[in-house]
Amino acid sequence: MLKLHIISFGCQMNAADSEEMTRPLLERGYQMTSDIAEADAVFVNTCTVRQHAEDRAVSQIGRLRRWKSRSPGRLLIVAGCAAERLKESLQKRFPFVDLVSGAKSIDEYPAALEQVLKKKFNFEKETGDYFPSAPPAGLKSQPFSGAPQSHVTIMRGCNYSCSYCIVPAVRGREQYRSPAGILQEIREKVSRGTREIMLLGQTVNSYRYPREAASFGRDALLTWRRTGEPKTARDFVDFPDLLRLIEPTEGLERIRFMSPHPHYVSDSMITAMAECRKVCEHIHLPVQSGSDRLLRLMQRNYSRLEFLSRVAKLRSAIPDIAITTDIIVGFPQETEEDFQDTLRLVEEADFDAAYCFKFSPRDGTAASPMQGQTAEAVKKERLKRLLELVESRALSKKARFIGREVEVLMEDVRFGKTRNFFPVKFERAQTPGRLARGVIGAFENAALVVKG
């Protein structure tokens, strides 16, 4: 039996891509393994968003030299954003890699993989259960079987050009999947045990799909129109529409999405979030900075006030919504005053959590050659101050759940997440993959705990 091991760096988009890109291997009879030593194939999905992420991915590939040399038949595939950026240099530096596939060439990947596999294996001989044509129904999505949560990619790429960000260069322009395809994937996953889906896209809420081309049944559209907004003829199915289309899916309990761009958090999106029961009370809304001057330099396409007003609308439309964010410190030309604006914004927006990063200059982005780069020591010091503020607030925000009953989707016997995305531990065993309810009795080691 051939065994496959996956190493995935970076965002949830990458995790979803790993799932999709290793599917052809699983269909051929590879079995997943968490033990790299026994693997016949390793799939590495790389990330390049910050230098640190890229360095980690590259040194991981370097370490695989020994694994590969133990048996020449072993298969090593490197994919993702760093693979896109470094393509040729990766191939030169690590000639033992069998296939380097950049994030942009995901369409050509199946054919390229086919080529490599043909050269390497005689599957009938190797596995004894190679499916020569289409695999029997039911086997196709085998890897998703039983996973209570699943990712569904609804768009790829990004049409923005935030001045610090390498993503548009490595992932290309936005491409959207059809609502029919999205709904079909969700139904398939739900039929195999998925209860919660995470819709993924670089700017997930800029999703749109021409109505003319959207080949879903008219009924689905008519159903939500009757309860929806003014009946003007619109040319696109947009993100709020998509939420309303997914909402009636039988057996599905929760809908999440990642990551929305503040510019597209429209009133109609907020209304759809509020009206769709299954859409969870959580939004991860990257702000990046609290200073208008920096937001302009970053080319984020919103002001501090616009961001805060959307946060206020979300909070008033969706009671108890958790709001999390991403923040970059030490962007070029960031003054102490700019940084103070960010600290103040963290207080005003009242975030439940924030991922904080030191600015990392990426070659080929507009911010990398900018005048006035911030010294490393200053970046470090600001990151520390920001983290202190963020963490102290996050603690008090979580503590508000003590004494309250919550709904938890169990990922394991004793662990799951609330609709607001807070981790919860249960002292008593629950059924994995099911919703459980419990009263939060304590807050220990950064986790909410249901006692007894």
Q: Kindly state whether residue 204 participates in binding ligand SF4, applying the rule CB under 6 A.
A: no
Contacts to ligand 5AD from residues 317-346, by CB under 6 A: 326, 328
**Side-chain-side CA neighbours of residue 252 (13 Å):** 27
Number of residues that make up the chain: 452
Chain Cα centroid distance, residue 379: 26
Q: Please give the residue whose beta carbon sits closest to ligand 5AD in the complex.
A: 326
In 3-state terms, the chain is what percent helix, strand and coil (to 5)?
40, 20, 35
Nearest approach, Cβ of residue 361 and ligand SF4 (Å): 14
Interface positions, 269-288, toward ligand SF4 (CB under 6 A)? none
Amino acid at 70: R
Select 209 or 357, whichever has its Cβ closest to ligand 5AD: 357
Using the rule CB under 6 A, is 260 a contact of ligand 5AD?
no
Residue 49 in the binding site for ligand 5AD (CB under 6 A): yes
In order of 22, 345, 415, 419, the CA distances from 435 in angstroms are 29, 35, 11, 10
Tally the C-alpha atoms within 13 A of residue 330's C-alpha that lie toward its C-beta: 21
Q: Kindly tell me which residue out of 360, 374, 418, 430 binds ligand 5AD, with binding defined by CB under 6 A.
A: 360
Token pair recorded at residue 183: 């709904």
Measured from the CB atom, is 40 or 54 closer to ligand 5AD? 54
Given ligand SF4, ligand 5AD, none, residue 202, with its beta carbon under 5 to 8 Å by kind, binds: ligand SF4
* Contact flag: residue 351 with ligand 5AD (CB under 6 A): no
Coil, strand, or helix at residue 114? helix
Cβ 381 to ligand SF4, closest distance in Å?
24
- Is 349 an interacting residue with respect to ligand 5AD (CB under 6 A)? no
Cβ contact 437:393 at 8 Å: no
**286, 332, 416, 433: which one contacts ligand 5AD (CB under 6 A)?**
286
Stretch that binds ligand 5AD, among 83-91, 111-119, 354-362, 403-411 (CB under 6 A): 354-362
104 lines the binding site for ligand SF4 (CB under 6 A): no
| By the rule CB under 6 A, 255 interacts with ligand 5AD | no
Fill in the per-residue mask, 156 to 195: x = in contact with ligand 5AD (CB under 6 A), - = not in contact. --------xx------------------------------
Among positions 47, 99, 158, 322, the unique one binding ligand SF4 when judged by CB under 6 A = 158
Name the minimum Å distance from CB 247 to ligand SF4.
26
Q: Does 162 bind ligand SF4 (CB under 6 A)?
A: yes
Candidates 34-42, 152-160, 210-218, 357-365; binding stretch for ligand 5AD (CB under 6 A): 357-365
Minimal distance, residue 157 CB to ligand SF4, in Å? 9
Sequence-distant (6+) residues with CB within 8 A of 53 are: 9, 10, 47, 82
Distance CA 247, CA 237 (A): 15
Residue 265 CB, shortest distance to ligand 5AD, in Å, is 15
Helix 179-191 with 239-246: angle, nearest 10 deg = 30
Neighbours of 192 (CB within 10 A): 16
Q: Which of residues 9-48 bind ligand 5AD (CB under 6 A)?
A: none
Instruction: Please write down the long-range contacts of 84-90, taking CB distance under 8 Å and 24 or more positions apart.
Output: 84/48, 84/170, 84/171, 85/48, 85/54, 85/166, 85/169, 85/170, 85/364, 86/48, 86/54, 86/58, 90/58, 90/61
Stretch that binds ligand SF4, among 20-28, 128-136, 139-147, 164-172 (CB under 6 A): 164-172
Residue 360 and residue 326 in contact, taking contact as beta carbons nearer than 8 Å: no
CB 118: neighbour CB atoms within 10 A? 10
E-state strands within 216-336: 236-238, 254-258, 282-284, 322-329
Nearest to 116 by CA among 101, 133, 134, 131: 101
| Closer residue to ligand 5AD (CB): 85 or 362 | 362
| Selected range binding ligand 5AD among 39-47, 104-112, 247-255, 353-361, rule: CB under 6 A | 353-361
Q: Is 22 in the site for ligand SF4 (CB under 6 A)?
A: no
Among 168, 201, 260, 416, binds ligand SF4 (CB under 6 A): 168
Q: Give the binding site for ligand 5AD (CB under 6 A).
A: 49-50, 164-165, 286, 288, 326, 328, 357, 359-360, 362
